[in-house]
Amino acid sequence: MKKLLVLVCCITLNLSSFSQQTYTINNETLELKTEVDGSLDLLWNIIDSNYRYFVKDSEENIQELTNTKGSDNKYLEEYKVVLSSLIQNSTLTLDHVKLTLFSLKEFLNNYNSSINSNYTFEDRSKLKTRLSVFGGLTNNSIVENSSNTTTPFFGIEFEFFEQYKLPRHALVFNLRHNLETNDITKYSVTQFALGYRFRIINNEKFSAYANLKFVTYSFYNSTISNDDPNNPATYKNNSSGIETPFTLGLGADYKITENSFITFRYHNIYALFIDNSNHFPVDFAIGFKTNL
């Protein structure tokens, strides 16, 4: 199980990859990342705790984009002067362009695509939502379950992600209810969970991903009955609380229509900071997901 934990954690780490090179600009040697690569390139980095931006034209000339304050304490917007000199053959305006990575990236992508029909880029991202319903079986492996009883569960989930053609990252809000076990200790739980999803395989028709629940709010209901026929007794207990077990899971989506998917899940494989049961974790679900 520890090996599985290490493997899943490694998979879920998303290492952002930038093209980074060394440039000499005005006798200053700088390590810069390439954010936009086209007729005009956008180069940037955080240097001495300051964001610095540069634009490189097709002749490899590099100019820094700055926005200093004048004697009247107003911003001079020198970066707009530089960009204006580079886009004289374009009808684009600089009225709403700010000296931020997002704004510069959006502007230069629009410019590059306007003069080169083969230039492609992702548009400004928008938040999208998917809703899924699911059900399955669990042996409640992250709580005490001495008899390894398996019970049904069902739930709904909202998945929030940026509007890319094949989004890899998602924020997940999950509500599920585990039905009561038929045992000496009858146990049921309703949980609200917030988590992160990273798609390892991300194709148009099929995706496979790792899930990590950050925080869970649980409502517990248990009924304890003794097995003494001469002195039967039943005790009920209700409790609730916030937990941060960092629970790991896996899943997959199979696209069946333009906006819907069949989902397969393996929840609660392992939980950090919680004493997991000695039983092999059983928490499988199948469901239906649709774009909203």
In this predicted model, which residue has the larger pLDDT, 3 or 141? 141
What is the model's pLDDT at position 54? Answer: 96
Per-position DSSP letters for 110-172, written without gaps between them? HHHHHH-TT---PPPP-EEEEEEEEEEEE--TTS--TT---EEEEEEEEEEEE--SS--EEEE
Rounded percentage of the chain residues whose pLDDT exceeds 70? 79
Rounded percentage of the chain residues whose pLDDT exceeds 90? 45
**Residue 86 in 3-state DSSP?**
helix
Per-position DSSP letters for 4-19, written without gaps between them? HHHHHHHHH------E
- Per-residue buried b or exposed e for 147-176, using 16+ beta carbons within 10 Å of the residue's own CB: eebebebebebebebeeeeebeebebebeb
Among 10-19, 43-52, 208-217, 241-250, the least confident range:
10-19
Q: What is the mean pLDDT of residues 7-32?
A: 66
pLDDT higher than threshold 60 for residue 224 = yes
Distinct helix (H) and strand (E) counts, the chain: 3, 14
Give the integer Cα–Cα distance in Å for 24 and 29: 4
Give the integer Cα–Cα distance in Å for 220 and 239: 5
Contact criterion met (CB below 8 Å) for 202 and 228: no
Contact criterion met (CB below 8 Å) for 43 and 31: no
**Residue 213 in 3-state DSSP?**
strand
pLDDT tens-place string over residues 137-179: 988 766 555 666 788 999 999 999 876 667 889 999 999 998 8
Domains contained in the chain, CATH given: 19-115 (no CATH), 125-291 (2.40.160.20)
pLDDT tens-place string over residues 249-277: 999 999 999 899 999 999 888 777 666 56
